[in-house]
Structure 1
Amino acid sequence: MLGVGPAFAASLHFISASASFASASSPNLNVNFKEASLGDTVTINYTASADATATYACINGGNNHPQAANKATVNGPVSSSGAFSSGKNGSITASLTLTPPSAGSFSCPNGQRLVLADVSYTNVAITDTTNNVSRSIAGTFSKTLFNFWTGRTVPERPRSAAAAALPSVQRQGRPTTGGARAVAGRTEGRLAPEGPGSA
């Protein structure tokens, strides 16, 4: 591996560093960065790091969370490392991916499946470990992946056009008559008959 000369070491720096979830349904956090003034065709080692919290739960066949005890929150440091070359322009633009801490020894009884319900990352940073240069990324990056109330993964699948066209009183809010019932986060059923004197 080629080293970085003293002149370059004095001026190398991160131009940018940011973090975002890999996709709308992914618990993984991408740490994106660009470092400059590295010199031509040098290989640099990087480590992305964060403190992460993940909640795991047991879900039965009906997508319900039957017992509050069947849930575990795990905390711990997470990291990801990689080596990248600067090529001939003296800079490196790359990305490393952080993943949630594992569920460890937490497991589900027969007939239930393990789901990752939510995850959050704090104290996110990217470090050039070759030259001991770091850049912190401010903020807390959180995502809910399973909605206990609806029994669905998040984001939920779009509703059909027919369901979207229903009057709002049929699709959301609390049931106001005996003829309606709450199903998966929406209210459906027949509308209450109009009372005497209604237009």
Structure 2
Amino acid sequence: MTLLAGPAAAGNAHFVGTPTATRSGGTLTVSGKEAGLGNEAQVHDVLSAAALCINGGGHHPKAVNKESVSTEGTFPVQNGKADFTLSVTASFSPSCSPPMTVAFTDISITDTTNGITVNIPGTF
């Protein structure tokens, strides 16, 4: 009898700490690291967030000035670890022009390869 082993399972895929989120104008960028990825060649990550148009008083005046945004990317795995950086830009209609500013909340990163998600608290 011959037994063949299948591909190695990740076993303990996880995000290392909380990814870093930054905002520049209407663009949100999230960077982080995953570990425990085993012998996978790559991981596929999805960044999701809510973009809000905030007035000068710090309020979100209209429900229509809110949108869900997302982007995704595939990142190489080396020695069971992967670094990722994803950026997404909000595009409001009508535009979110000064003195209004864009803010991002409800931010999450999902590794669809391993079925894990990390939520990033706060508003950026």
Give the TM-score taking structure 1 as reference length: 0.49
Identity of aligned residues (%): 34
Unaligned runs of 5+ in 1: 57-71, 108-113, 142-199
Structure number with bigger Rg: 1
Q: Which has the bigger relative contact order, CA under 8 A and spacing at least 6?
A: 2
Structure 2: runs of 5+ lacking an equivalent: 1-5, 56-62
Post-superposition Cα deviations, 1:166-186, rounded to whole Å, max 9, x if no partner, equal xxxxxxxxxxxxxxxxxxxxx
- The aligned counterpart of 2:38 is 39
**Structure 2 counterparts to residues 132-143 of structure 1, below 5 A:** 132-141=115-124
Structure 1 equivalent of residue 14 of structure 2: 13
Equivalent positions of 1:83-94 (< 5 A) are: 83-87=74-78, 89-94=79-84
Indicate how the Cα distance of structure 1 residues 115 and 90 shifts in structure 2: closer, same or farther if over 3 A, else same. Answer: same
The correspondence for 2:73, drawn from 62, 82, 104, is 82
Q: Distance in 1 between matches of 2:7 and 2:69?
A: 28
Q: What is the aligned length?
A: 111
Partner letter of residue 117 of structure 2? S
Structure 1 residue 53: deviation in Å? 0.8
Residues 41-80 of structure 1 mapped to structure 2, 5 A cutoff = 42-54=41-53, 74-80=65-71
Contact 1:55 1:73 in 2 (8 A): no
Change (3 A) 1:121 1:39: same
CA-CA distance at 1:125 after TM superposition: 0.8
Q: How many angstroms does 1:73 deviate by?
A: 5.5
Q: Per-residue deviation at 1:74?
A: 1.5
- The TM-score, its normalising length taken from structure 2, stands at 0.75
Matched with 2:60 is none
